[in-house]
């Protein structure tokens, strides 16, 4: 049973400010745009290129369609791990470099397994009248950070994300809404606006993870 002091630490001290997190993301983006812009331009362009390639392949060539789909999925996994690492480094004031976006490839299978576990847990939540699914997804959003940051096992990372988000669900939902709003504004701006939006929000998310981890 959790003590009163530990409850206070989990529900008061460890809370973060949504406004401060987004502001932090914006400030760090302005300071580190020389790293973040090339990284996100690469990720977006490669993803768009692979999608266009897949759509233009003759569907009768099932093996070619499958191969491009596999390449697209693999790149998406590697890029997610890499951008998570870069965002964490920037959020902590540490040096990040462009090649880090590809450097976490060894965690791909572990991350894929984690996605399956989180997906199943979230699916069960949605079956239980939707709201539990939203809560589960909110509390397990930092699994990838635990994998990259602490090299945890899959189930250990799931438990860690669940632990650090205790008492933070509503605030994290508001943060998620703010992130979505920033992304939508970036989409409206087109081009560089999308790059700015994802750069700001990923660093902001890494900052939130870092705050909750403390």
- Per-residue pLDDT tens digits for 55-70: 877 776 777 778 888 9
State the Cα–Cα distance between residues 105 and 9, nearest whole angstrom: 35
Lowest model confidence (mean pLDDT) among 21-35, 41-55, 107-121:
41-55
Q: In this predicted structure, what is the pLDDT of residue 182?
A: 95
Residue 3 — very low, low, confident or very high, per pLDDT cuts 50/70/90? Answer: low
State the Cα–Cα distance between residues 180 and 56, nearest whole angstrom: 30
State the Cα–Cα distance between residues 27 and 58, nearest whole angstrom: 46
Tell me: the pLDDT tens digits for 127-145? 877 788 899 999 999 999 9
Residue whose structure tokens are 């929000």:
201
Q: In this predicted structure, what is the pLDDT of residue 129?
A: 75
Q: Work out the mean pLDDT of the chain and round it to a whole number.
A: 89
In order of 1, 31, 129, 210, the CA distances from 84 in angstroms are 34, 18, 31, 12
Annotated domain spans of the chain: 18-213
Contact 84, 148 (CB under 8 A): yes
Assigned token pair, 154: 């899959």
Query: How many Å from the N-terminal Cα to the C-terminal Cα in the chain?
Result: 21
């Amino acid at each position: 049973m959790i003590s009163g002091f530990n409850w206070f630490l989990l529900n008061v001290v460890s809370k973060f400010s949504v406004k401060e997190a987004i502001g932090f993301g914006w400030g760090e983006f302005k300071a580190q745009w020389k790293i973040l812009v090339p990284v996100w331009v690469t990720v977006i362009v490669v993803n768009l290129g692979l999608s266009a390639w897949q759509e233009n392949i003759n569907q009768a060539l099932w093996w070619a369609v499958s191969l491009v789909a596999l390449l697209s999925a693999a790149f998406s996994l590697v890029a997610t791990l890499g951008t998570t690492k870069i965002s964490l480094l920037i959020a902590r004031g540490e040096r990040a470099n462009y090649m880090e976006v590809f450097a976490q490839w060894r965690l791909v299978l572990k991350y894929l397994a984690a996605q399956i576990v989180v997906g199943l847990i979230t699916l069960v939540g949605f079956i239980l009248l939707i709201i539990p699914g939203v809560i589960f997804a909110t509390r397990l959003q930092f699994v990838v950070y635990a994998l990259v940051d602490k090299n945890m096992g899959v189930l250990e990372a799931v438990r860690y994300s669940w632990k650090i988000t205790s008492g933070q669900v509503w605030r994290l939902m508001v943060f998620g809404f703010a992130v979505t709003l920033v992304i939508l504004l970036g989409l409206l701006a087109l081009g560089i606006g999308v790059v700015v939006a994802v750069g700001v929000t990923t660093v902001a998310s890494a900052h939130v993870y870092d705050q909750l981890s403390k």
